[in-house]
Each structure stands twice: as C-alpha cells, then as structure tokens.
C-alpha cells in the first residue's frame, strides 16, 4: 500500500479518526495510540458496523449505559476507504461495489472449498504437500508419501512459524549432528507458518475461536509457500568453524601430551 497516500478521516462525534485499512482500525488523529478495532471493538452487520462509543474517553464501551454512551453506526471499510481496500486486496474499485468487507478480505471460493473439506496445500522446495492439521502431518500431494510430521518442526521464539532442517532427497526434517565438520549435502532450512497460517479454518474450530474474526486477521492464503533458507545463511557455517577449531585444539593438546619427556641428566 502506498505509504505516502493521505488516509481518509471519519468524524466520530466531533473527533477525527484516521481510517487505517491495513490494521483495520480507526486511529484518533490527535492521539494515535487510541485505536478502535473494526474486528474486536465493533460488531459487523452486513455493510456497516455497530460501535458502543464513549464520547468522554473516546473509546469503545461494552458495559456502561449512561448518557455518554452512544450506539453508533460506522460505515464499512469499503465505503470509508475504497482506494485503500482496492490497493490492499488488489481488487479494482469498481468491483468492490455490493461486497462486504469480509467478502473482500477473505477469498470466498477458497473458504467454500475449505468448508467442503478440501484441505489446503503448501509448497515446500518446489513440491506440494497437503496440510492435515487434524493428523498433524503434511502429505505429498501427488504421491501421498512421504508423510512429514509437524511434530518434527520447532516453533520459532515468536510462535508464528515452524522451522526445521530439511533433507531435499528424503523429503523429511532432520536433526543435524552437533559435531558437524562439513556442510551436509541436500540439506536446507525451511520455515512454515504456524497453525493459524497453515489452516485458519481448522485452527478456529480446534481452539473454539471466532472463525470470521480469525479469518479477517489471517485470511486463507491461495498459494502457501515455505521459506527456503540455504545452509550458508544459517548458523551451520559458524557451527562447523567452531567444531573445527575445537578439533584442532584437541589435536594440539594430544600432540603436546604425546611428546617424549626429556630425561634428567646425572
């Protein structure tokens, strides 16, 4: 999205809020930290949203019912910023007419396929694998074998990706020898999305999450592709250098110990 584009402003009881399509929020112009989420702070009703708004704090209010609380209709993001929606979701402005925000944000054909039980797929090093989170495995889409267990992957520190070293010949994750001295052949590192990124529909069902809300935050991806990282760009070369240095030091220590001691002279 064009970062230099002037974002539209929505007036909410005399207070200007910037419409941020990318984050799906209204952001107060004078207090940027004050954001009102279209997803978690409003309820969606076809082509508009309902917001319980506190005119004093200028924040959503779910509990109070005094005179300062107003149930306000907020237009759809398509209506508030059609250009922004067009740019973000690569849909011509004229094709947005008659659609809801959800229909634009989430590929309806992919969603219908998933609800019919068609499992998503991911490309790993040029080959397609079917994602089956119920069985916690990835199956080769053409031959149904090999089967890759998701339990073989490590979760990254931020929790958003699975990662593993991967044998491109065996098509399996593997654990590298910590005493490695040479770069192994046919091995790369791969990084996959976590469960939400792999299959948001199943993840919502599994954890009892609101499917529409999750899909708005993490839409189904049409072409999932694992990130391929050459070993030269990982910590493996450093590990090999360290192991070689330790081995040289060990050999030197052994050589020193094996030297014949000088006999004393009488």
Structure pTM? Answer: 0.86
Q: Answer with the one of 48, 70, 96 that is the final residue of a domain.
A: 96
Reading the block at residue 57, the tokens are 């704090």
Are residues 85 and 192 located together in one domain of the fold? no
Are residues 171 and 202 located together in one domain of the fold? yes
Are residues 59 and 131 located together in one domain of the fold? no
* DSSP 8-state secondary structure symbol assigned to residue 152: G
In whole angstroms, what is the distance from residue 170 CA to residue 186 CA?
9
In whole angstroms, what is the distance from residue 244 CA to residue 252 CA?
12
In whole angstroms, what is the distance from residue 59 CA to residue 163 CA?
40
Domain contains 202: yes
Are residues 118 and 184 located together in one domain of the fold? yes
Looking at the structure of the chain, the number of domains it has is 2
Tokens 């952001």 sit at which residue? 27
Are residues 26 and 121 located together in one domain of the fold? no
Are residues 140 and 20 located together in one domain of the fold? no
Domain contains 257: no
In whole angstroms, what is the distance from residue 22 CA to residue 144 CA?
38
**Chain segment 132-191, per-residue pLDDT in tens:** 999 999 999 999 889 999 999 999 999 999 999 999 999 999 999 999 999 999 999 999
Domain contains 60: yes
* DSSP 8-state secondary structure symbol assigned to residue 146: S
Reading the block at residue 109, the tokens are 């054909």
Domain contains 187: yes
Are residues 54 and 115 located together in one domain of the fold? no
Contact 47, 79 (CB under 8 A): yes
Domain contains 123: yes
Reading the block at residue 187, the tokens are 């091995």
In whole angstroms, what is the distance from residue 218 CA to residue 214 CA?
6
Are residues 124 and 91 located together in one domain of the fold? no
- Measured N-to-C along each axis, helices 108-115 and 200-207 cross at an angle, to the nearest 10 degrees, of 50
**Chain segment 51-108, per-residue pLDDT in tens:** 999 999 999 998 888 888 999 999 999 999 999 999 999 999 999 999 999 999 999 9
Reading the block at residue 40, the tokens are 């978690």
**Chain segment 195-207, per-residue pLDDT in tens:** 999 999 999 999 9
* DSSP 8-state secondary structure symbol assigned to residue 225: E
Checking phi first, is residue 227 left (phi over 0); if not, alpha (psi -120 to 50) or beta? Answer: beta
Are residues 170 and 114 located together in one domain of the fold? yes
In whole angstroms, what is the distance from residue 30 CA to residue 9 CA?
12
Are residues 47 and 133 located together in one domain of the fold? no
Residue 97: strand, helix, or coil: coil
Are residues 70 and 129 located together in one domain of the fold? no
Domain contains 262: no
Residue 264 has pLDDT above 90, yes or no: no
Q: Which residue segment(s) compose the domain that 53 sits in?
A: 9-96
Contact 227, 190 (CB under 8 A): yes
Are residues 46 and 126 located together in one domain of the fold? no
């Amino acid at each position: 999205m064009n970062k230099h584009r002037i974002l539209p402003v929505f007036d909410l009881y005399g207070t200007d809020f910037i419409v941020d399509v990318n984050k799906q929020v209204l952001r107060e112009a004078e207090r940027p930290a004050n954001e009102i989420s279209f997803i978690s702070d409003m309820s969606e009703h076809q082509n508009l949203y309902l917001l319980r708004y506190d005119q004093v704090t200028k924040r959503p209010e779910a509990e109070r019912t005094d005179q300062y609380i107003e149930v306000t209709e907020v237009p759809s993001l398509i209506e508030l910023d059609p250009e922004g929606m067009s740019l973000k979701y690569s849909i011509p402005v004229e094709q947005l007419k008659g659609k809801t925000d959800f229909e634009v944000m989430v590929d309806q054909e992919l969603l219908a396929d998933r609800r019919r039980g068609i499992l998503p797929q991911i490309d790993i090093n040029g080959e397609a694998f079917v994602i089956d989170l119920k069985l916690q495995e990835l199956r080769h889409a053409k031959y149904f074998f090999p089967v890759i267990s998701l339990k073989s992957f490590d979760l990254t520190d931020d929790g958003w990706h699975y990662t593993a070293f991967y044998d491109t010949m065996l098509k399996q994750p593997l654990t590298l020898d910590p005493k490695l001295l040479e770069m192994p052949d046919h091995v790369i590192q791969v990084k996959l999305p976590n469960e939400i990124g792999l299959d948001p529909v199943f993840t919502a069902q599994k954890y009892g999450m609101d499917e529409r809300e999750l899909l708005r935050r993490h839409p189904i991806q049409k072409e999932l592709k694992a990130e391929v990282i050459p070993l030269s760009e990982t910590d493996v070369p450093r590990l090999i250098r360290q192991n070689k240095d330790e081995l040289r030091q060990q050999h030197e220590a052994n050589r020193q110990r094996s030297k014949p001691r000088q006999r004393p002279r009488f």
